[in-house]
Amino acid sequence: MEAARRAEAAGRSIIHMEVATAPARRCACGAGAGAGARAARLYRRAWPAGTAPGIADLYRRWYGVDLDPARVVVTPGSSGAFILAFSALFDAGDRVALGEPGYPSYRQILRAMSLEPVGIQALARDRYQPRPEQLPEGAQGLIL
């Protein structure tokens, strides 16, 4: 990403697809002969919004929260953040409850970390969020 930023600063046209944070421009994209054109949003990284100081500033402006940038962890995607969070919260062998249906990668990440995912059937009337009383016996945590 840093090399792309330098190339862009040197005048090259770069389409950033690594981390989307802000709409950059629109383009017309056709899906084949006779399909017509569709508008598609392309995103580009907003420097320095994706850095710890930029994120802390965003929280200050949006939420009125004074957040120390040293407490912000930036990951190259959500999976890295999940691994960090799960490592801080759980120990190998722990049973972790999560709603079903849910994000499939949670199960795979939990298993890769020697954690046992325990599904809870979530209902539309609860906005597909598990309810605390559904927490299975022996589960050490709940992922919402």
Q: Is 114 left (phi over 0), alpha (psi -120 to 50) or beta?
A: left
Tell me which amino acid residue 129 is: Q
Task: Supply the pLDDT for residue 113.
Answer: 94
The reply to whether omega before 48 is within 30° of 0 (cis) is yes
Task: Supply the pLDDT for residue 112.
Answer: 95
Task: Supply the pLDDT for residue 44.
Answer: 36
Task: Supply the pLDDT for residue 93.
Answer: 93
CA 23 to chain CA centroid, Å, is: 17
**Percent of the chain having pLDDT more than 70?**
72
List the one residue out of 63, 64, 81 whose CA is nearest residue 72: 81
Rg (CA), the chain: 20
Higher pLDDT among residues 67 and 5, named by residue:
67
Task: Supply the pLDDT for residue 20.
Answer: 45
Task: Supply the pLDDT for residue 22.
Answer: 42
At residue 115 the predicted structure's pLDDT band, cuts being 50, 70 and 90, is: very high
Task: Supply the pLDDT for residue 19.
Answer: 52
Global pTM reads 0.54
Average of per-residue pLDDT across 101-124: 90
Q: What is the pLDDT of residues 7-61, one digit of tens each?
A: 889 998 877 666 544 443 333 333 333 333 332 333 334 444 568 888 889 899 9
